[in-house]
Amino acid sequence: MKFTSKLCMVFSALSFAFFNTSHLHFAEEKQPDLPNRTSITISAVGDLMCHAPQFEYAKVSADSFDFSSTFREVKKYFDSSNFVFGNLETVTLGKGTKYSGYPFFNSPDDYIASLKKAGFNFLFTANNHSLDRGETGVFRTLAILKKYGINSTGTFASQHERDSMVILSANGIRFAVIAYTYGINGNYLSKGKSFLINCISDSSLTRDIQKAKLCDVDFILVYFHFGEEYQREPNSYQKRMVQLAIKSGADIILASHPHVLQPVQFFKSAGKIDTGFVAYSLGNFFSNQRWRYSDAGAILQFKIVKDAVTKALYLEKFNCIPTWVYKGKFDEKKQFVILPAGNSTNYDSIFPQGAIKLLRQSFNDTKYILRKYSANLQLNEE
> In CATH, what class is 2-370?
alpha beta
Q: Where are the beta strands (DSSP E) in 250-289?
A: 252-256, 261-268, 275-282, 284-286
Task: Give the integer Cα–Cα distance in Å for 19 and 76.
Answer: 33
> Could you tell me if 343 and 382 are in contact, meaning their C-beta atoms sit under 8 angstroms apart?
yes
pTM of structure: 0.92
Say if residues 270 and 249 touch (Cβ distance below 8 Å). Answer: yes
Q: Where are the alpha helices (DSSP H) in the chain?
A: 52-57, 75-78, 109-118, 134-147, 159-163, 202-213, 236-248, 353-370
Residue 279 has pLDDT above 90, yes or no: yes
**Angle between the N-to-C axes of helices 134-147 and 109-118, in degrees from 0 to 180, rounded to the nearest 10:** 40
- Paired with 315 in beta bridges are 304
CB of 104 within 8 A of CB of 118?
no
- How many other β-carbons are positioned within 10 Å of the β-carbon of residue 352? 12
CA dihedral (41, 46, 52, 57) in degrees, to 10, reads -40
pLDDT of 27 reads: 37
Task: Return d(Cα 221, Cα 300) in angstroms, integer.
Answer: 14
List of E strands, 82-236: 83-88, 122-124, 151-153, 165-170, 173-181, 219-225
Phi, psi torsion values for 257, nearest 5 degrees: 130, -40
H and E: helices and strands count for the chain: 8, 18
Under 8 Å between Cβ of 137 and 91: yes
Please report, as a single letter, which amino acid is at residue 370.
L
pLDDT in tens, 90-126: 999 998 899 999 999 999 999 999 999 999 999 999 9
Quick check: 24 pLDDT over 80?
no
The answer, yes or no, to whether residue 267 has pLDDT greater than 50, is yes
- 83-92, 170-179, 185-194: segment of lowest average pLDDT: 185-194
Mean pLDDT, residues 140-164 taken together: 97
